[in-house]
Structure 1
Amino acid sequence: MNMKNLKQFIIQETIRFVETANRAAVPEKIWKTPLVGFADVRHPAIRNLKQTAGEHHQMPEDVMEDAVIVLVYFVPFQDFLSKENKDKGLATKDWAQAYETTNAMFSKLNQHLIRVIEEQGFSAKESPEARIFYRDEVISHWSFRHFAYTAGLGTFGLNNMLITEQGCAGRINGLVTNLRVSPDQPQQEEACLFKRNGSCGLCLQVCPAKAITEQAYDRRKCYAQCLKNAEVHTGLGSSYSQGNEAIGSEVCGKCVAGMPCALKRP
Structure 2
Amino acid sequence: MMKKILQRWCTDHEIPLMGVADATRWRGEVPEEYHPDSIYPGCRSVIVIGLPIHLPSLESSPSIQYAEMYRTVNSLLDQYTYRIAERLNQAGFPSVSIPRDGYGGIEALIKNPVAFFSHRHAAYLAGLGTFGLNNMVLTPAYGPRVRFGSVLTTAVIEPDPIREDELCTRCMECVTACPVRAVSSEGYPEGKTNKQACAKYSASLSRKGISPCGICIKVCPIGSDRILYGREDTGIYRKEGGDPALQRAWEHIRRHGAL
Same fold (TM over 0.5): yes
Say how many residue pairs are matched: 217
Cα gap change, 1:173 to 1:151, in 2 (>3 Å): same
Aligned residue number for residue 249 of structure 2: none
Aligned residue number for residue 213 of structure 2: 252
**Which amino acid counterpart does residue 36 of structure 1 have in structure 2?**
M
Tell me the CA shift for residue 218 of structure 1.
0.8
Determine if contact 2:78/2:149 at 8 Å carries over to the other structure: no
Tell me the CA shift for residue 74 of structure 1.
1.4
- Kindly provide the CA deviation profile for residues 92-148 of structure 1, in whole angstroms up to 9, marking residues without a partner as x: 211101111222222221221122212333221124796225431211121010111
Aligned residue number for residue 8 of structure 2: 12
Aligned residue number for residue 29 of structure 1: none
- Kindly provide the CA deviation profile for residues 21-61 of structure 1, in whole angstroms up to 9, marking residues without a partner as x: xxxxxxxxxxxx43001011112xx012444xxx7x43212
Give the match's secondary structure for 1:131: coil
Tell me the CA shift for residue 156 of structure 1.
0.4
Tell me the CA shift for residue 65 of structure 1.
2.4
Cα gap change, 1:100 to 1:128, in 2 (>3 Å): closer
Give the match's secondary structure for 2:176: helix
- Pairing partner for 2:128 from 108, 129, 153: 153
Cα gap change, 1:119 to 1:49, in 2 (>3 Å): same
- Kindly provide the CA deviation profile for residues 68-109 of structure 1, in whole angstroms up to 9, marking residues without a partner as x: 111111111223223333xxxxx1211101111222222221
Cα gap change, 1:257 to 1:129, in 2 (>3 Å): closer
Cα gap change, 1:180 to 1:213, in 2 (>3 Å): closer
- Correspondence 1:88-107 to 2 at 5 A: 91-107=62-78
**Which amino acid counterpart does residue 20 of structure 2 have in structure 1?**
F
Cα gap change, 1:130 to 1:65, in 2 (>3 Å): farther
Determine if contact 1:129/1:140 at 8 Å carries over to the other structure: no
Determine if contact 2:202/2:213 at 8 Å carries over to the other structure: yes
- Correspondence 1:75-114 to 2 at 5 A: 75-85=51-61, 91-114=62-85
Aligned residue number for residue 38 of structure 2: 62
Determine if contact 2:177/2:219 at 8 Å carries over to the other structure: no
Matched, 1:126 2:87: no
Cα gap change, 1:176 to 1:231, in 2 (>3 Å): same
- Pairing partner for 1:187 from 163, 174, 196: 163
- Pairing partner for 1:47 from 14, 23, 27: 27
Matched, 1:228 2:204: yes
TM-score (norm 2): 0.76
Tell me the CA shift for residue 213 of structure 1.
2.3
- Pairing partner for 1:141 from 112, 116, 121: 116
TM-score (norm 1): 0.74
Q: Give distance in 1, aligned partners of 2:60 and 2:146.
A: 14
- Bigger mean CA deviation after superposition, 73-82 or 137-146: 73-82
Determine if contact 2:99/2:149 at 8 Å carries over to the other structure: no
- Kindly provide the CA deviation profile for residues 143-169 of structure 1, in whole angstroms up to 9, marking residues without a partner as x: 010111010000000011100122211
In structure 1, runs of 5+ residues without a counterpart are 20-32, 86-90, 195-199, 234-248
Q: Percent identity?
A: 25
Cα gap change, 1:128 to 1:113, in 2 (>3 Å): closer
- Kindly provide the CA deviation profile for residues 203-256 of structure 1, in whole angstroms up to 9, marking residues without a partner as x: 1111011101213311111111111210111xxxxxxxxxxxxxxx64111001
